[in-house]
Amino acid sequence: MKIIESRSELQGWSDRQRAEGHRIALVPTMGALHAGHLSLVKTARERTDRVIVSIFVNPTQFNDPSDFEGYPRVMDDDLAACREAGVDVVWAPAAEELYPQGAASSATWVDVEGLTDPLCGSNRPGHFRGVTTIVTKLFLAARPHVAVFGEKDFQQLAVIRRMTVDLGFGIEIAGGQTVREHDGLALSSRNVRLGRNARRQALVISRSLALAESMVAQGERSHAAILEVVRKQLDEATQASIDYADLRDPESLLPAPESLDGPVLLAIALQFEPDNTDNTDNTDESANVGAAVRLIDNRILNPKE
């Protein structure tokens, strides 16, 4: 496995692989890799014969500076995981490689309109602008044939697909299924920051998704009725506030009709407040246990199945 830090070196490597007839996949990450990321690597390997994993904690997609500072950084562990997964190149650039004038002084942005307005975009101004800008920079450096993103970040996946088409990148955007812990919680690098009580309460997210799916399977078609039950379930997480719980069209992300007549996206985000008094068994000093943690999850509900 090759570890590359400079953009020019990565571009040269990719050009050589292309000249030799290889297909390249890029798996963009911010590190703190878990089984969900490694499943994306597996998807990438199945579609191509060269895999790049980028590791870069992108400052421009964080609204809260403390969230950026507290994001887990465990490069040695990440490199070991990539090596074991058969990754060909880990690209771990310094911020100066991607923001030569500094992130705060950047004057050029990639902004996707419409799809970025609801859900995560409603309470995180500038978040998706940071995401689409950094992904554009990653694409230009890695020059992949395929890029793999997790379906847990459903809105991000939709936004990147639209950006890729609009800018004519000619890159296949593949989605990787959400990987869950044994009790149903969607894997996230932020999970390690949950205290014991918050970790237990976070299970209301997957329970709410399953409950909505069960309601639809039993014939419920009312948008309002489904969300009422989902929100009541989410309210059981007393350490969290509901950022959003919404039913949306899976392609346009516009609000789903009042009477569901086709596949809809149920998207949920909970914000767990800091709780430094919460006891925990986590001894990882990089985890920043007790900090505010925002968790998202989703499920496609299909009334016609």
Catalytic residues, by residue number, are 37
Helix (H) or strand (E) holding 9: helix 7-19
Helix axes 7-19, 127-142, angle to 10 degrees: 50
- Parallel, antiparallel or unpaired: strands 146-150 and 2-4: unpaired
Task: Kindly state the tokens that stand for 105.
Answer: 């002084």
- Cα–Cα separations (whole angstroms), residue 285 to 7, 80, 172, 193: 31, 19, 38, 10
Distance between CA 93 and CA 109 in Å, rounded?
19
Query: What is each CA distance from 189 to 33, 61, 244, 298, in whole angstroms?
Result: 7, 15, 20, 17
Long-range contacts of 19-24 (CB under 8 A, 24+ apart): 22/48, 22/49, 22/50, 23/47, 23/48, 23/49, 23/50, 23/145, 23/146, 24/48, 24/50, 24/51, 24/52, 24/142, 24/143, 24/144, 24/145, 24/146
Quote the CA–CA distance of 31 and 190 in Å, as a whole number: 11
Nearest to 29 by CA among 84, 100, 91: 91
Q: Which of 299, 208, 185 is nearest to 250 (CA)?
A: 299
Q: Residue 21 has which token pair?
A: 């007839």
Two tokens at 22? 């290889």
Contact by Cβ (8 Å): 72, 189: yes
Separation of alpha carbons 288 and 52, rounded Å: 28
